[in-house]
């Protein structure tokens, strides 16, 4: 299974979990159980994000670094920094 297929499978799982959390909230389920399900969703999304970042680093970033355009190298590196900065904001 390639990474895109794996990511799509994970997203479908996340979709099911989100529907489950909606149902739990609607049914006024125990708060801690709901939070645990939300954490499972966040974990799955984090794994998808890591997969996509890995692909980006092994394709786009490497192409830019090996290229002769210093502006493109700077742009790609800045993108990665921006993604990490955005990820650390709550």
Domain residue extents for the chain:
3-87
* Sole residue written with tokens 């997203």: 11
Q: What is the pLDDT of residue 31?
A: 97
16 pLDDT tier (thresholds 50, 70, 90): very high
pTM of the predicted model, to two decimals?
0.82
For residue 80, which of 58, 63, 59, 57 has the smallest C-alpha distance? 57
Which is nearest to 5 in space by CA: 57, 51, 53?
51
Angstrom CA distances, 45 to 12, 50, 87, stand at 11, 9, 12
Asked if residue 90 has pLDDT above 70, the reply is no
How do residues 56-82 score in pLDDT, each as one tens digit? 999 988 998 899 999 999 999 999 999
Q: Which CATH superfamily is domain 3-87 in?
A: Metal-sensitive repressor, helix protomer (1.20.58.1000)
Q: What is the pLDDT of residues 18-38, one digit of tens each?
A: 999 999 999 999 999 999 999
């Amino acid at each position: 299974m390639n990474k895109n297929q794996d990511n799509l499978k994970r997203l479908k799982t996340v979709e099911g979990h989100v529907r489950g959390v909606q149902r739990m909230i609607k049914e006024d389920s125990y708060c801690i159980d709901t939070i645990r399900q939300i954490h499972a969703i966040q974990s799955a999304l984090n794994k998808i994000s890591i997969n996509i970042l890995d692909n980006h680093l092994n394709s786009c970033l490497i192409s830019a670094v090996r290229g002769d355009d210093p502006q493109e190298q700077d742009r790609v590196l800045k993108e990665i920094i921006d993604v990490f900065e955005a990820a650390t904001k709550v």
